[in-house]
Each structure stands twice: as structure tokens, then as C-alpha cells.
């Protein structure tokens, strides 16, 4: 997208600086901990916080982790885990036989797949299933969405090069409509997928964003999301790049993909919402960033970057993810409690005070929960960074307790989704 003309209005410059300050994991962590402090003090309007119950959440998380990973050799929480079904890594089975011309070529393809698949990975709703021919059964939610996106990728649905299906091209993405996505995901009246139109629009915006920035996404090829690999490689020093830098570049260059919610100084803020507990002395006053899908994407880019020859450092600089499995774990174990029990039956907008509080408290409490889980498992932060605790971990524990408490494993709160938040 073309850059706006430089502003001579100092207020605009201040707004731009305030907006840029929100596009980081550090901003997420700082502001959610502000809301946690208010919650512990009993000053939030929608939720109560009982930090003592974190021990219960830690016990469940540690138990779930040990069942899944008894040797504590835990991979990072990322989209790649959802491509492993019944012990078979579906992506590796496709990619390993390919005679890739270089590690960078495979990394570009994997970044293409990760970016497209993560953008499609918002809540699917309770009714939708991916009917998997290999297993002969339906697969729901994130795993189902992952397999559906992988199948489309393998079939060349996102490629503009007939002889090279394992790619996503801007030229193809801008053409994708809801009907094409519905066909790829086998969605319809009998298999409804939440937010289908929003997902298709997100991919079209991805294509337009990538096409408009060939210097970022087209360094070695036609503009494609996976071109971000070459851009990030150019930012690395001695082959090393910080996870916070990867996130900052994702937010900067893929920010226009997200729906136009809040903007500040002409900059779209993406997954950023308002809450009165956050007080700042600039134009960012009252704003709470989460960048959930952008951070999920950043976690999911680590492995392709490293297979492409880079080393990603400072992974714990990223935060936990503000999504309903982690948040559900905290509600279902009593760490968080609704002030108004009727809120459990209502449907809520993502920007409502309750949902902003829930998401903020989730991210902040995951930092505290990680410490307790490490103590129970006898490991330090270097061995069990947050990315492994999420995988081990909190996400699976949230799903397990939801399955015990509610039919179909539904989350404890209902959120109106357009397919681009959760």
C-alpha cells in the first residue's frame, strides 16, 4: 500500500508514535498486566480474579502435559502441531519427497502455508467438521481447519503456478471468494462454518497487501506471503533474529490484512480494543492490544525460519495467546469468575468489556501460570519457555476441562466471531 504523505501536524505525529508503540509483544504484556492488577484489586466490572486458584490450573496443566509428553520433550505451540494427526505429520509426508532447490525454497513454501493456514484459524463453530478421508471421520475446530487448509494448499488452490502447487501467490489470493473457500472446506448448510465470508475477505486482503509490497514479499519470486522469509533473513544478524522482531515485522507488513477496526495516526491497530482500566498519557490511552493471530502466526513461523537456516531468539518475549482455550481453562478452574452469572448464557461482542477483560486476564495470568507449571514439572524457563507450556499445556488443558463441563467442549463464554479474532 502506498505510504501516506508525511504529516506536518505534530498531533498526527504523536498519534503515529502512539500507534506504533502498540504494535509489539511488550505493549501487550504491559497493558494486560495493568488490567490484571485492577482485577486482583477487585476493581474490574465483569470478572473477579482469584490468584490462589492458579494452583488448580497449574496442576491440571502439568498433568495434561505429562500425559501427552511424558519425557517433557515438548515442541513449540504452533500451527504445525495441527498437521500431525494420529501420529502422522501430513505436511512432512507431502514435503519431504520434494526435491526442493534450497532450504530457503522450502522455507518460503512453509511460510506461505503457515500464513494462510493461521489466517484461516479462527473459531470454526461447534457444528463444522472436516471429513478426513484418511481417518474416515470428522475432525472439528483447529485441527479440522488445519487439515482443510493443508488440503487446499496441496491441491494448489492458493497457487498461481500450475506446475508448483505448494505455494500461495498474491495473484491467486486476491481472487478467492467465499464459494471457493466453502468448497475447499466442504462447508455448507449441513456443515456450517462460522465466519466463512470473513475468512475469504481476509485472504483477499492478504493477497492485496502482499501484492502492494513487492520489496517485502517479492524479493526472490513473484509476490507471495512466503516472501516474508527473505525479508526476515535480511534483518537477521549473524543468522539470528529475535522473535519480537519477527512479530513486529508481521504486525507492520501484514497489519493491513485485518479488518478496519481501530486506527490511530493512519495505522490500523488490528486485534486491539478499548478498556477504561488502561490509562496512558498519550493517544494510546485506553487501548489494549492482543495481536492473537499475529502472535500465533509468529510462533508458527519459528520452525520454517529455523529450517531455512535462521536461529530465532527471545521466544519468551512473545506472550500467551488471548483465545478461548487458554481463557476457558482459567474460567473453568475458578481463577476467573463472572460477576454476573447470566453472562455465561449471553453472546458477546469481541470489543465488549467482558471479552476484553477475559482476554487480557488470560494473557497476564499465563505468565504467572507458567511459573507454577515449571515448578511442578521441575524445569526452568530455558527448558520450558511459554511456547512449550502453551503446547503441553494450557491449550490442551482448556480443551480437556471444557469437554468435561460442556457438551461438545464449547468454551465457557460465547463470542460473536467474524472469523478474524478467536
The pLDDT of residue 8: 45
Length of the chain: 422
Alpha carbon distance 139, 58 (integer Å): 28
The pLDDT of residue 7: 43
The pLDDT of residue 23: 94
Hey, CA dihedral for 85, 136, 323, 192, is it positive or negative?
Answer: positive
Look at residues 409, 369, 403 and name the one whose alpha carbon lies nearest to residue 389.
Answer: 369
Distance of CA 87 to CAs 82, 93, 136, 159, 166, Å? 11, 12, 15, 28, 23
Alpha carbon distance 32, 288 (integer Å): 7
Residue 422 lies in a domain: no
Residue 421 lies in a domain: no
Contact 244, 131 (CB under 8 A): no
Contact 208, 174 (CB under 8 A): yes
Residue 6 lies in a domain: no
Contact 60, 401 (CB under 8 A): yes
The pLDDT of residue 6: 42
Torsion over CA of 5, 6, 9 and 11, rounded to 10 degrees? 100
Q: Domain span at residue 265?
A: 11-415
The pLDDT of residue 1: 38
Under the phi-then-psi rule, with left for phi > 0, alpha for psi from -120 to 50, and beta for the rest, what region is 265? Answer: left
The pLDDT of residue 10: 45
The pLDDT of residue 422: 56
The pLDDT of residue 298: 97
Alpha carbon distance 225, 218 (integer Å): 9
Residue 5 lies in a domain: no
Number of structural domains the chain divides into = 1
Strands 414-415 and 347-348: parallel
Residues forming beta bridges with residue 48, ordered by sequence position: 337
The pLDDT of residue 420: 64
What's the pTM value of the predicted model, to 2 decimals? 0.91
Residue 2 lies in a domain: no
Mean pLDDT by 10 residues, the chain (422 residues): 42 83 96 98 98 98 98 95 93 97 97 95 84 91 93 97 96 96 95 90 95 96 97 98 97 86 89 95 96 93 97 96 95 98 95 97 98 98 95 96 92 81 61
Residue 197 lies in a domain: yes
Residue 166 lies in a domain: yes
Alpha carbon distance 414, 374 (integer Å): 31
The pLDDT of residue 176: 95
Residue 4 lies in a domain: no
The backbone torsions φ and ψ at residue 76, rounded to the nearest 5 degrees and listed phi first, read -70, 150
Look at residues 374, 342, 305 and name the one whose alpha carbon lies nearest to residue 111.
Answer: 305
Amino acid at each position: 500500500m502506498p505510504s501516506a504523505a508525511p504529516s506536518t501536524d505534530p498531533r498526527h505525529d504523536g498519534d503515529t508514535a502512539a500507534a506504533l508503540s502498540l504494535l509489539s509483544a511488550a505493549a501487550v504484556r504491559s497493558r494486560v498486566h495493568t488490567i490484571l492488577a485492577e482485577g486482583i484489586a477487585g476493581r474490574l466490572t465483569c470478572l473477579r480474579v482469584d490468584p490462589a486458584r492458579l494452583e488448580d490450573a497449574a496442576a491440571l496443566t502439568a498433568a495434561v502435559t505429562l500425559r501427552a509428553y511424558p519425557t517433557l520433550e515438548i515442541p513449540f505451540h504452533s500451527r504445525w502441531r495441527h498437521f500431525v494427526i494420529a501420529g502422522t505429520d501430513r505436511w512432512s509426508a507431502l514435503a519431504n519427497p520434494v526435491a526442493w532447490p534450497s532450504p530457503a525454497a522450502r522455507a518460503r513454501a512453509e511460510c506461505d502455508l503457515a500464513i494462510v493456514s493461521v489466517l484461516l484459524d479462527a473459531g470454526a463453530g461447534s457444528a463444522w467438521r472436516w471429513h478426513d478421508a484418511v481417518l474416515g471421520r470428522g475432525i472439528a475446530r483447529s485441527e479440522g481447519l488445519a487439515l482443510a487448509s493443508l488440503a487446499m494448499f496441496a491441491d494448489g488452490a492458493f497457487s498461481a503456478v500450475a506446475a508448483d502447487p505448494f505455494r500461495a501467490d498474491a495473484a491467486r489470493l486476491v481472487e478467492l471468494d467465499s464459494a471457493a473457500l466453502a468448497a475447499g472446506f466442504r462447508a455448507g448448510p449441513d456443515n456450517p462454518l462460522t465466519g466463512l465470508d470473513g475468512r475469504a475477505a481476509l485472504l483477499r486482503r492478504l493477497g492485496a497487501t502482499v501484492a502492494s509490497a513487492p520489496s517485502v514479499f517479492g524479493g526472490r519470486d513473484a509476490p507471495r506471503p512466503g516472501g516474508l522469509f527473505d525479508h526476515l533473513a535480511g534483518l537477521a544478524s549473524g543468522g539470528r533474529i529475535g522473535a519480537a522482531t519477527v512479530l513486529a515485522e508481521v504486525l507492520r507488513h501484514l497489519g493491513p490484512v485485518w479488518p478496519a477496526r481501530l486506527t490511530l495516526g493512519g495505522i490500523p491497530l488490528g486485534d486491539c480494543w478499548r478498556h477504561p482500566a488502561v490509562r496512558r498519557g498519550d493517544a494510546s490511552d485506553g487501548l489494549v492490544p492482543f495481536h492473537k493471530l499475529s502472535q500465533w502466526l509468529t510462533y508458527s513461523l519459528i520452525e520454517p525460519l529455523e529450517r531455512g537456516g535462521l536461529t530465532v531468539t527471545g521466544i519468551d518475549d512473545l506472550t500467551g495467546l488471548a483465545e478461548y482455550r487458554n481463557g476457558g481453562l482459567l474460567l473453568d478452574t475458578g481463577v476467573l469468575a463472572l460477576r454476573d452469572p447470566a453472562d455465561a448464557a449471553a453472546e458477546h461482542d469481541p470489543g465488549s468489556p467482558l471479552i476484553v477483560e477475559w482476554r487480557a486476564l488470560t494473557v497476564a495470568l499465563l505468565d504467572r501460570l507458567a511459573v507454577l507449571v515449571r515448578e511442578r514439572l521441575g524445569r526452568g524457563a530455558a527448558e520450558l519457555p511459554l511456547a512449550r507450556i502453551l503446547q503441553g499445556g494450557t491449550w490442551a488443558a482448556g480443551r480437556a476441562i471444557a469437554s468435561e463441563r460442556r457438551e461438545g467442549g464449547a468454551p465457557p463464554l460465547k463470542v460473536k466471531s467474524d472469523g478474524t479474532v478467536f
